[in-house]
Structure 1
Amino acid sequence: MADTRTYHGPEACSGVGEGITSVFGLLGKRWTGMIVAALMQRPVHFADLRRGIPGISERMLSDRLTELSAAGLVVREVDEGPPLRVSYRLTEAGAALDPALQELARWAEKHLLKTDTPC
């Protein structure tokens, strides 16, 4: 029979590794995952990115893009005009997140998006 006792004390939890702490510290912020997913296909202009993520404000999008850029996942590129336009694209490191995002999407479809009504 399985031991169902609850353990307390320092040995009760082994802790969370530095890698997982770092990845969720960045990608766990609201909107960040959606921004990365939106950039996965191709570079996107700022205005198109904002329209593609309903509910995000310009300020929040700008802040998240700055964070992703500082982490080396996104590059900001200025398209000479007229009109002058700014686009964003994933770096090689950012694009390497694709398999993980695909797996998370599959997991969500299986475990989070269950419906009780047949199609």
Structure 2
Amino acid sequence: MAGTDTEVHMCDAAVTLAFSVLGKRWNGMIVATLGSGPAPFVALRRAVTGISDTVLSDRLAELGQAGLVARTVDAGPPITVTYSLTESGEGLVPILSRLGEWASANLQVPAH
């Protein structure tokens, strides 16, 4: 039984780690948006309604440090910066899709 307790603890730690990244506001939406393909900063800002430039920049840096998003600079002219999902980030897309399906079926939108 001790092995089972260790496995549960490791799973809890892994879920906690995942939500330390995905639980931050906007991160899931950014990953989901990039699931459609690479995008420049401006397109991401338009797609993630309500996010400021500063927060988007911070979140992209965090997702990059987590190994989920890659930043590519094309020297141009003009210089362009494109963001895309890494292999790890791409692995999240079906998980986020399933999470959205679950939320639609099981959670109610709070009344305003």
TM-score surpassing 0.5?
yes
Matches within 5 A, 1:79-98: 79-98=74-93
Equivalent residues in 2 for 1:1-119 (5 A)? Answer: 17-112=12-107
Report the secondary structure of 2:77's partner residue.
coil
**Aligned AA (2:94):** P
Q: Which segments of structure 1 move beyond 4 Å, counting only runs of 4 or more?
A: none
Q: Give, in whole Å, the separation in 1 of the partners of 2:108 and 2:84.
A: 29
TM score, norm. by length of structure 1: 0.78
SS of 1:96's equivalent in the other structure is: helix
Q: CA deviation at 1:64?
A: 0.4
2:3 alignment counterpart = none
Structure label with greater radius of gyration = 1
Distance in 2 (alpha carbons) for counterparts of 1:98 and 1:51: 20
Distance 1:79 1:49 in 2: 17
RMSD: 1.7
One-letter code aligned to 1:104: L
Spell out, residue by residue over 1:79-112, the C-alpha distance to the aligned partner (whole angstroms, 9 max, x if none): 2222211110000000001221111111122123
1:6 alignment counterpart? none
1:20-60 CA distance string (max 9 Å, x none): 11000010000000000000010000011001111100000
TM-score, normalising length: structure 2: 0.83
Counterpart code for 2:79: L
